[in-house]
Amino acid sequence: MLIAIDIGNTDFTIGVFEGSKLLDTFRMRTKINRTSDEYGVFMMNILNYKGYDHKAVDAVIIASVVPAVMHSFGSSIIKYFGLKPILVGPGVRTGIKIMTINPRETGADRIVDAVAGYELYGGPVIVVDFGTATTYDLVNSQGHFIGGVTSPGIRTSANALWSQAAKLPEIEIKKPDHILAKETVSSMQAGLVFGYIGQTEYIIRKMKEESGLNDVKVVATGGLGKMIAEETDCIDIYDAHLTLKGLQLIYEKQR
C-alpha cells in the first residue's frame, strides 16, 4: 500500500493507493510546530480509523512546498512506519523535462501536477492548481515543462480583502446570483469569484497565444478549482485528485 502526501501551505493532502487505485483521501492542517510523534500518531490513527492496517504501508512519497515541516514529518514516517519516504525533488525520475532558467526553483507540487496532467491527459497541457497560490503551468507534447504563471489564490485574495479593509467582513467564498450586488457580502463575493474567473480566462488565453499552442488541453485541480471550472469554458477537465495521482505515477517511475 502506498501513501502519497502533498504538503501545501494550508493543508496536508494524503492519499491511500493500492496499485494505481486511489482508495481514500484525508487532510490535516499544515502546522510547523508539530513534533514527529504528533505526526506519526495522527497518521497511524487516521489509517486505522478508516479501516486500513498501517503495517500494510510499504512505501511513502511526499511532495512538499513547506521545508520547515519536513524534518519532523520525515522523521515521523521513519519512526512510525519504518520507511524512508521518497521526496519529490532533484534526482527523482519524473518523465518531465524542466525547461525553466533554474529548474531547482520549480516547486515539487508543480512538477507533480505537470506529470499527472501530461501522463493522464496528454500534451500539450496547461495545468491550473487553485491552492494558496494559483499556478498555471504549460507542458508541451514532448513532455517539456515550458514555464508558468503564479498568482494569489482566491482564498488568499479574500483574506487580504477582509484583513486589510476594516469595514469588510469575513465571508463565504461562493458565486452570488448576480454580479450587480446590492449589499456588501454579495458584492465581495462577486468581485472575488467573477474576478477570478476573468483572471483565469485571461491568463490561459495569453499562455496559448504566447506558446502558439491553441489546441492545448486545460486541466484544473485544487480546492476551489471546481467552482471556477464550472463557470468557464476555458477549463476542459477538473480533477480533484490530480496531485495525488501524479505522486503515484512518480512513485511507479522510481520502481
pLDDT in tens, 125-184: 999 999 999 999 999 999 999 999 999 999 999 999 999 998 999 999 999 999 999 999
Supply the angle between the helices 70-81 and 36-49 in degrees, to the nearest 10.
Answer: 50
Give the residue range(s) of CATH 3.30.420.40 domains in the chain. Answer: 2-87, 97-248
- The fold adopted by the segment(s) 97-248 is Nucleotidyltransferase; domain 5 (3.30.420)
The rounded distance, in Å, linking the Cα atoms of 74 and 143 is 30
Which parts of the chain sit beneath pLDDT 50? none
Nearest to 139 by CA among 95, 185, 200: 95
Nearest to 140 by CA among 203, 208, 205: 208
- Provide the pLDDT for residue 152: 95
Which among 11, 58, 109, 129 is annotated as catalytic?
109
109 given a catalytic annotation:
yes
CB under 8 A, 24+ apart: contacts of 138-142: 138/207, 138/211, 138/213, 138/216, 139/96, 139/114, 140/211, 140/213, 142/97
- Provide the pLDDT for residue 59: 97
Task: Give the homologous superfamily in CATH for domain 2-87.
Answer: ATPase, nucleotide binding domain (3.30.420.40)
Cβ proximity of 16 and 235 under 8 Å: no
pTM: 0.93
- Provide the pLDDT for residue 162: 92
Which residues, 6+ apart, have CB-to-CB distance to 19 below 8 Å? Answer: none
Q: Please report how many Cα atoms fall inside a 13 Å half-sphere around the Cα of residue 253, on the Cβ side.
A: 19
What sign does the CA torsion over 8, 12, 17, 21 have?
A: negative
Give SS3 for 70.
helix
